[in-house]
Amino acid sequence: MPGFELFGAEEKKEVQDVLDNGVLMRYGFDSMRNGHHKALELEKDLAKKMQTQYAQVVSSGTAALTVALACAEIGSGDEVIMPTFTFVASFEAILSVGAVPVLCDIDDTLTLDPKAVEAAITPKTKAIMPVHMCGSMADLSALKAISEEHNLILLEDACQAIGGTYNGKPLGSYGDLGCFSFDYVKMVTCGEGGGLITNSKIYADRAHKYQDHGHDHVGNDRGAETHPFLGYNYRLSELNAAVGIAQLRKLDHILEVQEKNYTILRDALTSIPEVTFRRVPETGVESYAFLSIFLPNEDLARKTHKALGANNVDACFYWFDNNWHYYKKWEHLLEQKSLGKFSNEIQLGLQKNKRSFDPSDVWMGRTISCLIKLNWTEAEVKERASKMVSAIKSVL
């Protein structure tokens, strides 16, 4: 991770196809395309790779979540349960459809705690959104059972976990809808882009319309198309889709390399009794995008993070103090700092997030996650492992 480490002739070829025909927009201008429909091709490839019936590519991972929520008819005043550890896009998407993000504690998977989810359900709850952070997943079977019991949508935010599996199914395909990010630092990148997958014909039909201003895409005259419902512009360009086509073909190779590098690092750290690892749910296989470790307490985790940096071990993250990924620094959400006025329902709903999340703090205070890169040589990975062991032991 990320896919841009593997940019090469394959991406250039796909992009050149688009530049040669000159059609950068995914819709219309069919006579000029020379048979190239890159966004459509990427959708077919994504659905096949994720073992779902349908896929829709859009302009970002945030757009994918927004379109998915809209397709599930989640809107004004509806509550969506999401974790305290995620990227800000998760709550941005929820707010964008007029719904209320309800923060919920995580457990040792670093994702939603099913017991906390059950406690957070109210009559206004419409969906549960587990976020498979740093390449590994939530206890999806437990969350699915809860969603079925309460008649809720299960929406998987798999933006950081493409390629991982649960119970033999690709992440994103287990729930009602699944979303991916294809931005510049993801395992599969379009430069900017995202995608959603589903086995629901209803959701798929809504998605292709909603992401293109509500166009029904019937007939060959775009100007004559009707609009069954309101939509917005979340389209993916042909140039971005072209990059994604080549990148998605490399996913199996990316996963193989990441697992190899991850395993070398993890095996080295198992020699330190005080270091433990995030729990991967039974039947789950992570994408190996990050190696996440637990130190015995917050103080040692902070010192370890500093020691890793001092030993030139880069790309290690202490999320507890991170502005983008942990609720403690989401002042703009918690204090409702919006350019436009929120609805009364959102204002009232967000108040319930202004509380402590002690279980989350316990786990995140102890967590350090290290990015797994693709271009390391085996010698470089082993040298990194040695440096990590030395740095951690110097603190302990």
R_g of the chain computed on alpha carbons? 21
Q: Which residues is 104 bridged to in the sheet?
A: 83
Task: Read off the amino acid at residue 201.
Answer: K
Q: Which two tokens stand for residue 36?
A: 């190239």
CB atoms within 10 A of CB 54: 21
Question: 288: Cβ–Cβ under 8 A, 6 or more apart, which residues?
Answer: 135, 255, 258, 259, 261, 262, 263, 372
- Which amino acid is residue 75, in one-letter code? G
β-strands 276-277, 169-170 pairing: unpaired
- The Cα diameter of the chain in Å comes to 69
DSSP state of 342: P
- 2 prior amide bond cis, ω within 30: yes
Q: Which residues are catalytic?
A: 186
> Hey, is 284 helix, strand or coil?
strand
What does the alpha-carbon distance between residue 74 and residue 126 come to, in Å, rounded to a whole number?
A: 7
**The one-letter amino acid at 282:** E
Give 153's strand partners. Answer: 127
CB-based contact 167:174 (threshold 8 Å): yes
